[in-house]
Amino acid sequence: MSDLVSVIMPARNAGEFIRESIESILQQTYTNIELIVIDDQSTDNTREIVESIADNRIIIVSGEAEGIASAFNVGLAQAKGKYFCRCDADDLYPSDRLKKQVALLNEHSELIAVCGQHSSIDEKSRHVVQYNLGSIDELQDAKFERAITKTHFNTFLVRTHILKKIGGCRSFFVTAEDIDLQLRLSEQGSIYFVAENTYLYRLHNLSITHTQPNTQRLFYDEFARQCHKQRMETGKDQIITGILPEIPSEEKLSQHRSENQILNQLVSESWYWHGRGDKKRSLQSGMKLIRLFPLNWLSWKALVLLLFKPVSNS
């Protein structure tokens, strides 16, 4: 009998994308799963869509609309699987992800978690960028000691009892809760990175990473890393001791639109390949800019520069 995997899917007003997200989980080649959808008091048709999908592996629970950390913990409390992972209600899993990750954890009892690469897609599920996180499979212990997180928590498969031991996410983190969670997990044992794509992250304007003000995103990210360093030095951090910092104001901060992020990521990717001497792949990224943003002058400027600037032969 294969081990049960608990997949949680926090969802709030996710009607536009949640069916596709659920299907990517139910169509996994590893089938012994429970999909726990946390309907975080949606006001659209999210719950109706979930209830319309006839699969007894789906469990619907209600969240308290207190943020992603709270919704995560509601799902974790319901989880009965030996292994645990998260998929947001607008993102996708590659079809063989769970089969590969479960096999690795079953073979290596010394690991508490395994993680991997991720890429981005747009609102129409078109591939945007493959994040280049390296091509080497390796332990992440040394990086975590320095508060470096290589990838996104949604690429992780974790032993459930470890997550429950540390109490899941901490409610202080409005965002960057995954950074704090990764760092606290790393203090419990070894985590292994596999250089294969395990997650498709959707860029769109309703995502919390685009609606959360930039200053606050940076604040929570940096504070999570500061807390890790404090625990490494003293065994406690400011949240544990109750000495909480002041949270930056949201005033005069604008949204970071997904279109701008997609464009910037493609420009970065094209120059990444150019710098590595791969003219063909750099031009492929440049042409993708033109296809997605034909009226944006930055797309054409990038393509012209890529065409005429010689690549490095080093």
> Any idea how long the chain is?
314
The pLDDT of residue 155:
98
Whole-angstrom distance, CA of residue 18 vs CA of residue 92: 10
What's the whole-model pTM score? 0.81
| Weakly modelled stretches of the chain, pLDDT under 70 | 205-213, 250-261, 263-265, 267-268, 271-274, 295, 297-299, 301-302, 305-306, 308, 311-314
The pLDDT of residue 46:
97
Q: What is the pLDDT of residues 248-279, one digit of tens each?
A: 875 434 444 556 667 666 766 776 666 777 78
The pLDDT of residue 208:
45
36 closest CA partner among 13, 54, 11: 11
The pLDDT of residue 313:
57
Burial class of residue 190 in the structure, from the number of CB atoms within 10 Å of its CB (0-12 exposed, 13-18 middle, 19+ buried) = middle
